[in-house]
Amino acid sequence: MGYKAKFRVWRGEGGEGRLEDFTVEVNEGEVVLDIIHRLQATQAPDLAVRWNCKAGKCGSCSMEINGKPRLGCMTRMSTFGEDETITVTPMRTFPVIKDLVTDVSFNYAKAREIPSFTPPAGVEPGEYRMQQIDVERSQEFRKCIECFMCNNVCHVIRDHEENKPAFAGPRFLMRIAELDMHPYDVVDRKDSAQEDHGLGFCNITKCCTEVCPEHIKITDNALIPMKERVVDRKYDPLVWLGNKIFKR
Ligand code: SF4
Ligand code: F3S
Ligand code: FES
């Protein structure tokens, strides 16, 4: 059975904006993105929203629904009460272009700062031999759809614009961990994870893991192991002794 829902949607551009109230029809089986589309079709033709697949796979429709980062296309209207006012706002960590569309270029800039996978010289594609456990570990991280909700929710940059230059965010610290754990990657990523990409800023609040629509265990399987790898390097007695001897 259909009903009328109360929607409160952020409208604005150029740093200015306000919440606008709508009453809008909802039908059985619909998701929040359907309602945004109905608003465009019936009441707000210039309402801007980014979307593409409507299947939880392109990562485009990230938004904040009642204050929580969610994919609009995967958030069922049946999870809200019919009397509830549903507030839809753009991701807070990135600048708003218009209405629900944010400029996520921060994330692409961070991606470009990470050296790509570098295999050893002389090993041709097809000659790599890996343990199944190494394959499975990176497969979990590669489920990422780049919705950037983990970077959006992480307090290190959500409320601290000034940290952005020094912090890659969980999505890209996870990418560094993925490459560091790869048995055929020869780039030394431990020092740069800490010094260039801000691994030390992460204090394991796990908010990133909580919002990941792919249920990737970002904190437990990527960030904490990467911190351990960095610490192992720093306090490895052999490395310590080598530094003492050779850096004199
Ligand atoms: Fe989105 Fe998860 Fe990828 Fe972060 S790790 S960008 S939350 S899919
Ligand atoms: Fe931020 Fe995730 Fe660490 S939310 S503080 S990167 S555990
Ligand atoms: Fe592709 Fe929502 S439209 S993830």
ipTM of the complex: 0.99
Per residue in 135-182, pLDDT (tens digit) is: 999 999 999 999 999 999 999 999 999 999 999 999 999 999 999 999
- 246 band by pLDDT with thresholds 50, 70 and 90: low
Task: Please report the pLDDT score of residue 247 as a whole number.
Answer: 53
| pLDDT above 90 coverage of the chain, percent | 89
Task: Please report the pLDDT score of residue 243 as a whole number.
Answer: 61
Q: What is the Å distance from ligand 1's center to 99 Cα?
A: 22
Cα distances (angstroms) measured from residue 141 to each of 104, 149, 240:
20, 15, 32
Q: Is the CB of 177 under 6 A from ligand 2?
A: no
Residue with structure tokens 């020094």?
166
Closest CA to 61 of 147, 142, 144: 147
Ligand number nearest CA of 219 is 2
Its pTM stands at 0.92
When computed from its CA atoms, the radius of gyration of the chain, rounded to whole angstroms, is: 22
Q: What is the Å distance from ligand 1's center to 218 Cα?
A: 8
Cβ proximity of 191 and 243 under 8 Å: no
Token code pair at residue 226: 């990467």
Q: Is the CB of 202 under 6 A from ligand 2?
A: yes
Q: What is the Å distance from ligand 1's center to 129 Cα?
A: 28
Choose one of 91, 148, 173, 175 to mutate for the ligand 1 pocket test, by most ligand atoms within 8 angstroms of C-beta. 148
Ligand number nearest CA of 207 is 2
- Looking at residue 31, what DSSP letter applies? B
Strands (E), the chain: 3-13, 16-26, 62-65, 68-71, 85-89, 96-98, 101-102
